[in-house]
Amino acid sequence: VSLPQRDDMEAIPGYLSLHQTADIMALKWTPNQLMNGSVGDLDYEKSVYWDYAMTIRLEEIVYLHCHQQVDSGGTVVLVSQDGIQRPPLRFPRGGHLLQFLSCLENGLLPHGQLDPPLWLQRGKGKVFPKLRKRSPQGSSESASDKEDEEATDYVFRIIYPGTQSEFVPQDLMDAPGAGLPPMWQPSTRKSSCSSCSQSGSSDGGPANGCSHER
């Protein structure tokens, strides 16, 4: 899993892991240079790569913006309760993004869950939920009725039913997919994801308001 850089800088490859204790669940991302010992012992603690390492408590995260690319895997942007967007994490091809979401969903149980939840499909295991897309006539058309030609972007919300953690600031509620039922409708509003908003426009963007790295 790599950390994309701005401008023409090469993405930094790293190791992504989920850690769970009796009290918290945390996501950690560490650059490969710190994992495989390529940085000298004397420079290890002072390495600039420590500036990129991340430890994120999942209880601080409200939304996961998942941006799929047909030819290059997908990207996840975590949005915290205060609206801060964490650096995007780019997953390689081969279902790694879905595998990460599946592990995250299992780790949140029994107190937390993803909304919408992943679907369980016979013979395949967990898959992305199918969306209902609005036709020009206003009727709903299920994406499961035909093969998707393009990758679909999703906004997952982390909720904790029956706890105060369900409180979400109003500005985050305006994000695409916020507060919608599991079978959510693609939003035509501009995405709150800064990495999407910078490259997309309200006039020519995709139907769900997200154009991250398309």
Task: Name the percent of the chain lying above pLDDT 90.
Answer: 43
Q: What is the pLDDT of residues 89-128, one digit of tens each?
A: 999 999 999 999 999 999 999 889 999 999 999 888 999 9
Give the residue extent of every domain in the chain. 61-197
CA 118 to CA 95: how far, in whole Å? Answer: 14
Cα(185)–Cα(168) distance, integer angstroms: 20
Q: Round the average pLDDT of the chain to a whole number and report it.
A: 75
Q: What pLDDT, on a 0 to 100 scale, did the predictor assign at position 167? A: 46
C-alpha distances out from residue 167 to 35, 153, 171, 173, 179, Å? 37, 24, 12, 10, 11
Greater confidence (186 vs 197) lies with 197
| pLDDT band for position 195 (cuts 50, 70, 90) | low
Q: What CATH number belongs to 61-197? A: 2.30.29
Q: What is the mean pLDDT of residues 168-183?
A: 43
Phi-psi region of 125 (alpha: psi -120 to 50; beta: other; left: phi over 0): left
Give the span between the Cα atoms of 157 and 165, in whole angstroms: 12
